[in-house]
Amino acid sequence: MRSSPPLRSPPWTRPWLGLLLGLVLIACGPEPAPVASIATAASYQDPTLLAQAWRQPVAATYQPHFEYQSNGAFCGPATVVNLFRSLGIDRYTQDTVFDRAPVGYWKARILGLTLDELAQVIRANADLEVTVLRDLTLEDFRTHLHRANDPASRYLINFNRQPLFGVAIGHHSPLGGYLPESDSVFVLDVLDQYKPFLVPADRLYAAMNTVDPETGRTRGLLLVRAATQPVAVPPAIAPPATTGAPARREPVEREGVAP
């Protein structure tokens, strides 16, 4: 009697299997030290302070059409869509930002986006100058915060929630601005479980200055400005004819793995 041939995973999934295994092994490492969640601070989502924060020049450009992520891994796409809308670019959704991007929808859907991949998605879809800022000192970080209210620029942050909330998961969100009198940063959190909040600058720096296990590099900021020279938007990238990739599913809201 002949035995059945072994089941094989589709070729497009193989590069991700090792990465997923590595992330699982990292997740099974030592438990991080407990932290006092910033959610217990009086200033965290104080209505008066939030109203002041939303009046900042950059935050005001996000408020009219602010959108939360459509599923647990889509903090990156939601951040990009909100960035574009704040700049008057309103032709993309969290799904369609991948139509022209070199990074695929399903990579983001399963593993989330790294800081550099987020920059690639932005550059592929708009004539914007995107600078990746990582390995910053606290002094460097504060210097950028003092520019975060300039409506000519936008800052996006990649951080780990662990130093802020005690939940070890990576995340992307736009920065709405900086309140120097209280040394507070307005984070426009794109996950509706958290919503926009205020956080002391040093606590946010500690959350940003962490290592992304997918890349082995520190997280950081993206500084986005209008490009000094027009950037040609490439044609949409058609998916390979025989990838074996599944069709897109309707997104489900859940907290998932994000870098």
Q: What is the mean pLDDT of each run of 10 residues along the chain (259 residues)?
A: 49 51 44 84 97 98 97 97 97 97 96 98 97 98 98 98 97 98 97 98 98 98 77 44 37 38
Residue 45's pLDDT is: 98
- In whole angstroms, what separates CA 233 from the centre of its chain? 22
Please state the pTM of the whole predicted model.
0.79
C-alpha distance from residue 73 to each of 28, 36, 113, 188, 253 (Å): 20, 25, 8, 16, 9
Homologous superfamily in CATH for domain 35-226: Phytochelatin synthase, N-terminal domain (3.90.70.30)
Round to whole Å and give the CA distance between 125 and 224: 13
Q: What is the dihedral of CA 160, 162, 168, 170, to 10 degrees?
A: -10
Residue with tokens 């942050």: 157
Structure tokens at 138: 């606290």
Domain range summary for the chain, segments of one domain joined by +: 35-226
Residue 207's pLDDT is: 98
Q: For residue 82, give every residue at least 6 positions away whose Cβ sits within 8 Å of its Cβ, in sequence order, or none.
A: 62, 65, 66, 67, 174, 188, 190
Q: For residue 234, give every residue at least 6 positions away whose Cβ sits within 8 Å of its Cβ, in sequence order, or none.
A: 100, 124
DSSP reduced 3-state for 82 = helix
Bridge partners, 153 (sequence order): 225
Give me the amino acid identity at 130. V
Round to whole Å and give the CA distance between 64 and 56: 13
